[in-house]
Structure 1
């Protein structure tokens, strides 16, 4: 039953993707959209293969991947640690949770000029801005994960003589991990968006720098091909973390 349902879901998803590309192709070929501004997929998809085969483009792609990975490695423990501190300390929670919620609601792009002034336009600035984009999502998700631990499980563990360490490792961590991974998944999406945006704003290398150059020179097939590659990168990251999230939360499934 579950396998059949999964196949239907995959079929529906594949149909939606195919329908999107067919509509895109039709809009461009039938003149509903200017093909100079919206080149058809039959022109864009070969460009994807050309870009991936180009050593220069792969160097730009690798710069972006390195920035994303380093930003994720920094943001994950930092965000989880701050979130745990805010959730476990009533004083810190009351004092600083409103600050994180406030900044999370502000578009982070307005802070990019500050990061350029502080870090310049090199590799470190992109990493710092990626961390900044992901951090607030992770802090809020971790604090929410601590609050979501079922009280009945904690009472049962204490009634059976569990130590504080056992409660944390066997109950708190297992209950929190799916929500923390969900926060990490969303944070990585913000990280990707932030790094590429910073590269588009001012950079000497990276996917965003390529996007900016192609847009300024009106090379639309390359621009759309690059966007598809960036979208594929985001999907890979999202689905990998989603799989880890499902696995960590498997104990909750009847």
Structure 2
């Protein structure tokens, strides 16, 4: 079944690429505005071989990794505390509902004022984008732990630490990884968006420059590289998520 799904997915992607190529080559769309994949892909490969572009790409990757390294433990800790304390959970629920309903991009000028325009600002905005997703999914993971398992563990005399390490952790891990996967996507988006707004280095800075100077093959090549980065991270975490959650379908 999984193999058939993959074949369908590849067929859809192939069909879209073919439609893109034909629409550009036949003049259905202006090739200056939408260069074909046969132009964009070689441009992307050439960019990946340029030391200057590699510096921009590695800057973005380093900022993304730093942000998620901060957001993951902090968001998980806040999520556990709020889930374990019904009073705190109810007290902070309006705040989280407000933040979840507001586009995070409107807060970027505030981050520029607080952190400047350097590395700290990009990391802080990436943390801000990811942490709320991680907090919410962690809270959901805590409340989703089967109560039967907890009662059984307590009946056998398990301590609070043993309950958390042997029951909570294993039951929560698939949901935590799902939150990490979603948080990572928001993190990448936040960092690249912050780089597009104001930065000297980074993939987002190059995308903004190419767009402003009408360098369309480079712009689409940069978008393709950013998409490939996000897909690689998402699918890697999804694979780990499936492996640690295999017991749920056993």
| TM-score interval (norm. to shorter) | over 0.9
Matched, 1:213 2:209: yes
| Alignment-derived partner of residue 89 in structure 2 | 93
Q: 2:32 aligns with which of 32, 36, 42?
A: 36
Matched, 1:140 2:136: yes
For 1:101 and 1:135, how far apart are their aligned partners in 2? 14
Matched, 1:158 2:154: yes
- The CA RMSD measured in Å over matched residues stands at 1.0
Matched, 1:105 2:101: yes
Deviation at 1:150?
0.9
| Match runs of 1:6-155 below 5 Å | 6-155=2-151
Deviation at 1:6?
2.6
For 1:23 and 1:196, how far apart are their aligned partners in 2? 28
Q: 2:165 aligns with which of 142, 166, 169?
A: 169
Deviation at 1:140?
0.5
Q: TM-score, normalised by structure 1?
A: 0.96
| Alignment-derived partner of residue 234 in structure 1 | 230
For 1:153 and 1:74, how far apart are their aligned partners in 2? 31
Gapped runs of 5+ residues in structure 2? none
Range with greater deviation from structure 2 (237-246 or 79-88):
237-246
For 1:105 and 1:222, how far apart are their aligned partners in 2? 34
For 1:154 and 1:143, how far apart are their aligned partners in 2? 17
Q: 1:191 aligns with which of 177, 187, 193?
A: 187
Gapped runs of 5+ residues in structure 1? none
For 1:130 and 1:165, how far apart are their aligned partners in 2? 32
Deviation at 1:56?
0.3
Kept in 2: contact 1:137–1:186 (CA 8 A): yes
For 1:117 and 1:161, how far apart are their aligned partners in 2? 53
